Amino acid sequence: MGQAFLEIEGLFKDFGGLRAIDNVGFSMGRNEMLGLIGPNGAGKTTLVRLITGILKPDSGRVHFKGRNILGLKTWDIVNLGIACTFQTMRPFRRLPIIANVMVSCMCPRAMKRGEWVKRVEAKALDALEFAGISDMSLEKASTLSQGDLKRLEVARAVATEPELLLLDEPFGGLSPAETDLMGKSIKRLHKGGRFGRLHSEGPAMIIIEHKLQQLMRIVDRIIVLNFGTIIADGTPEQVVNDPGVIEAYLGEGGI
């Protein structure tokens, strides 16, 4: 069996006397789309922050493409090929939307040697076009709606050209039509459509989401967290029919 693309083993994280992540471990392949669900406070966002280096675990290991990434700075992890979006969005509100994305384009991973600022601007426009907000590129980020801020978050992450993309509630705050569009964009990116151009393969993804019907349309596999522990791991159909998941999260009415 080949080496796992992402491998997590024995992660623990306490905040004071509260255990947020309790012996979490799983692996995923290079071409997977993985959903991460669970009740509020289950530890989903904490897990993403441990993977991306924003938080340090109390114990455990995270290997990306065979390399131990625990202890690395967040920007070093981005340059290795991992990017994420955040549920709480913090753009540079006084700057134009395109400038927000150009910052991401200038990371060493995305900024190839010898590229000039005009090329970075073009790359940022490509990312905004992918996210569906290129027509607002010169407007200040402070003018964006909640849904458009969510798309700006996706554009900023995509602009780093990740191999692993972690999306924290990408459908949050979006209308049904916007949710459908975002879902199609995410699938297109995963299949190799990057900034409107075709590439051999798009990024693997871990997607945190509460809109389960929309999530199930795009992911191959779902992991369920409850009180910081994995209680289910399987296909969307297996997970929604799991008695433990129904009791802990979905309720008698299912989805």
Write out the DSSP string of 31-83.
Answer: T-EEEEE-STTSSHHHHHHHHTTSS--SEEEEEETTEE-TT--HHHHHHHTEE
Containing 232, the helix (H) or strand (E) segment is strand 229-234
Model-level pTM? 0.86
Average pLDDT over residues 4-19: 94
pLDDT above 70: percentage of residues in the chain: 89
Choice between 59 and 185, residue whose per-residue pLDDT is larger: 59
Indicate the pLDDT class of residue 208, thresholds 50, 70 and 90.
very high
What is the rounded distance in angstroms from the CA atom of residue 155 to the CA atom of residue 126?
9
pLDDT score, position 194? 52
Look up residue 236 and give its two tokens: 């969307």
What is the rounded distance in angstroms from the CA atom of residue 54 to the CA atom of residue 149?
21
Domains of the chain: 6-96+162-250 (3.40.50.300)
Average pLDDT over residues 218-244: 94
pLDDT score, position 132? 80
Find all residues with CB under 8 Å of 7, minimum gap 6, and list them: 27, 61, 62, 63
In whole numbers, what is the pLDDT of the chain averaged over residues?
86
Q: Is the predicted pLDDT of residue 252 greater than 60, yes or no?
A: no
pLDDT score, position 192? 73
DSSP assignment of 126-191, as one string?
A: HHHHHHT-GGGTTSBGGG--HHHHHHHHHHHHHTT--SEEEEESTTTT--HHHHHHHHHHHHHHHT
pLDDT tens per residue across span 73-96: 999 999 999 999 887 777 888 889
Find all residues with CB under 8 Å of 191, minimum gap 6, and list them: 202
pLDDT score, position 73? 92
Q: Are 228 and 41 in contact (CB under 8 A)?
A: no
Q: Is the predicted pLDDT of residue 196 greater than 50, yes or no?
A: no
What is the rounded distance in angstroms from the CA atom of residue 194 to the CA atom of residue 10?
34
pLDDT tens per residue across span 22-60: 999 999 999 999 999 998 889 999 999 999 999 999 999
Q: Give the residue among 219, 230, 25 at the shortest CA–CA distance from 242.
A: 230
Q: Give the residue among 52, 48, 112, 62 at the shortest CA–CA distance from 82.
A: 52
Choice between 218 and 253, residue whose per-residue pLDDT is larger: 218
In this structure, is the dihedral angle defined by the CA atoms of residues 182, 171, 180 and 201, taken in order, positive or negative? positive
For residues 201, 152, 73, 20, the Cα torsion angle rounded to the nearest 10 degrees is -100
3-state helix, strand, coil in the chain (%, to 5): 35, 25, 40
Indicate the pLDDT class of residue 109, thresholds 50, 70 and 90.
low
pLDDT tens per residue across span 110-158: 666 555 566 788 888 888 888 888 898 998 988 888 888 888 888 889 8
pLDDT score, position 190? 87
